[in-house]
Amino acid sequence: MKMKHGIILISVVVLSTMLSCVRAEANGTLTLKFQYVNISGVATPLSFAYVYLHNSSESAPMEQYFSAADYIFGPSDSTGSITVSVPAGSYYVRITRRNTSAFPPNPLGPPLNGDYTWRQTAPITISNNVITNLGTQNSTFFGSSITISGTITNVATGAPVPGIYVRAQTVQCILGNYTDYPNRCGPQKFAAVTPTDANGNYTLQLRTPGTYYLYASQCIGDRHQTYQANPCMGIENTTDPVTVNAGASVTVNFPLYCYTLEGGVFVCE
């Protein structure tokens, strides 16, 4: 009887080991370093930072609404480094570290005003048995709002145009026909989107410094704009891409040609 129990125990151990190996083989490695660089250019490693991963097959976590992360890894060590084993897949990533002088009582959760944070709008891909190195990422203070604002006007009349959606994207949309390039605006989700008010004014609130392409459209649509005549495709602003730093406030105005079709359909292009 003891021998039988011993055989069963050994079998369970062997099976557990095999399952562990299978799980390990289905993982990749994610490594990065997180730091804060002050206005003098001095870099300080950020320990006690955590990495939040969201499956990219779901909606990207919006700045206003923070969904629960699929995986949380950390904390970072005294050099600001994190190296972890991650299940293979495609993820949106954010790094956050509470901005306190001591280890906070609740280090996890959505970023709060003043926290050190960084996020990437494009998803990252973790492959089996492959090291994905995000390098050294510089944090920004969450809540250091960046604003892009302006007015949408009708070129034909000079009047402001209400109800036009203005969106900021990290990649430029590609114009095409019905058949080529079905993903017109890249894999990134919109960084921000807002409609113009009754006076044609808009204000986009952004959290992350960087370069953005601005588009104005009569509807939001999704990120896969399917053809050039689609009203959700949007008209790109005629200026160069807008580059903004933390705390910046810039103005970008849109002139659109708007008219009414037969049957009373209002169109802007």
pLDDT score recorded for residue 64: 42
Q: Which residues are bridge partners to 216 per DSSP?
A: 166, 235
Q: Which two tokens stand for residue 63?
A: 């700045």
Residue 142 phi/psi, 5-degree rounding, is: -65, 135
pLDDT score recorded for residue 140: 80
Closest to 161 measured CA to CA, from 207, 128, 196, 193: 196
**Distance between CA atoms of 165 and 147, rounded to whole angstroms?**
16
Cα three-residue angle 97-100-101, rounded to 5 degrees: 125
How far are the Cα atoms of 16, 30, 124, 238 from residue 255, in angstroms, in the given order?
65, 45, 36, 9
* 28-141 against 146-268: fold identical: yes
Residue 167 phi/psi, 5-degree rounding, is: -130, 150
Q: What is the largest CA-CA distance in the chain?
A: 94
How far are the Cα atoms of 144, 191, 200 from residue 168, in angstroms, in the given order?
17, 6, 17
Contact 69, 55 (CB under 8 A): no
Residue 152: count other Cβ atoms within 10 Å of its Cβ.
Answer: 26
**Distance between CA atoms of 111 and 94, rounded to whole angstroms?**
10
Write out the chain's pLDDT in tens, 269 residues: 444 444 444 443 443 443 344 344 579 999 999 999 876 778 899 999 999 998 888 765 545 446 788 999 999 999 999 999 999 999 989 999 988 754 556 788 888 778 888 888 778 999 999 999 999 998 888 776 788 999 999 888 889 988 888 888 887 776 554 444 444 565 555 677 888 899 999 988 876 778 888 888 777 654 444 444 455 555 666 567 888 876 788 899 888 877 777 766 666 76
Show me where the domains of the chain are located.
Answer: 28-141, 146-268
pLDDT score recorded for residue 48: 92
**Distance between CA atoms of 96 and 82, rounded to whole angstroms?**
12
In 101-239, which ranges are E strands? 116-126, 131-138, 140-141, 146-154, 165-169, 192-195, 201-206, 210-217, 235-236
Which CATH number is correct for 28-141, 3.90.1150.10, 3.40.50.620, 3.40.50.1970, 2.60.40.10? 2.60.40.10
The residue assigned the tokens 């959290």 is: 207
**Residue 107 CB contacts under 8 Å (≥ 6 apart), including other chains:** 48, 50, 75, 97, 98
Closest to 118 measured CA to CA, from 154, 149, 147, 80: 80
Q: What is the CATH superfamily name and number for domain 146-268? A: Immunoglobulins (2.60.40.10)
Q: In what order do the strands lie in the sheet containing 71-73?
A: 71-73, 50-55, 89-97, 116-126, 140-141
